[in-house]
Structure 1
Amino acid sequence: MQFHEVTFEGATPVDGYGPGFFRIADQVTRGPILLTAEKLISWDGEDAAPLEALAGEIDVLFFGTGADTAYAPKAVREALEAKGVGVEPMATPAACRTYNVLLAEGRRIALAALPV
């Protein structure tokens, strides 16, 4: 078996997370995050406008719902799906891992996540 180092080709992965925080590009961010391959966007965890603004830039939004899996808010999901963006809700740890894997593959994705 041969192992290959994962590279992100200039994209921004999630380095870590913990109670109430995320570590992105060696910087700790408290509270919810909205992350694309290129940038960390200010987000309050509820406002759908920053998520909708990503339409056309991404194909899928991973929605980290905290420590447990829950539904993404219906209004957010419907607004994004109407603009052609799939919404995949999952627990935040799983959303961070999935985001990083698909980011390394060069996919057009974003992560909106509530802290654990």
Structure 2
Amino acid sequence: MRLNEIVFTDASPIESYGPGFFRVGGAVIEGPMITSPNGTQPWAGYEDTESLLALAGKVDVIFLGTGADVAHLPDVLQSQLDDAGVGVEAMASPAACRTYNILLSEGRRIALAALPV
């Protein structure tokens, strides 16, 4: 069987996650985080709309991990993202991490903002 190495874009894949943390590109991020082709950094959560809006035009969709369980985004956040033309898909953080990694491996223009499990 032939195995092909996955080549990611400039962004790093999610290597692992656990209670209160994410491991991205070898670095551990405690608490909520956002990762995109611009890098990985801590994220202040739903109130930090500026970090998400800054991705307008740079990514096609942001996967928003809502923690251990899927939850609806706050209406204000959803409205701001819609008004800016930023596509967002909310899902539980484990599913968001998996989906992000798959689409990243395809070279898609994506970002992930996630609350820890």
Task: Calculate the TM-score normalised by the size of structure 2.
Answer: 0.91
Shift in Å at residue 2 of structure 1? 5.2
Q: What is the percentage of aligned positions where both structures have the same residue?
A: 54
Q: CA deviation at 1:49?
A: 1.1
In structure 1, the gaps of 5 or more residues are: none
Residue deviations 1:65-115, cap 9 Å, x none?
000011122211211121211110000000001001111111111101000
SS of residue in 1 equivalent to 2:85: coil
Cα pair 2:100 2:110 within 8 Å, conserved: yes
1:18 corresponds to which residue? 18
Q: Distance in 2 between matches of 1:55 and 1:73?
A: 19
2:43 corresponds in structure 1 to 43
**Moved beyond 4 Å, runs of 4+:** none
For structure 1, which segment, 48-57 or 75-84, has the greater mean C-alpha deviation from structure 2 after superposition?
75-84
Stretch moving more, 34-43 or 65-74: 34-43
TM-superposed deviation, 1:3 = 4.2
Shift of 1:17: 0.2
Gaps of 5+ in 2: none
Tell me the equivalent position of 1:64: 65
Aligned to 1:98: 99
Offset at residue 37 of structure 1 (A): 2.5
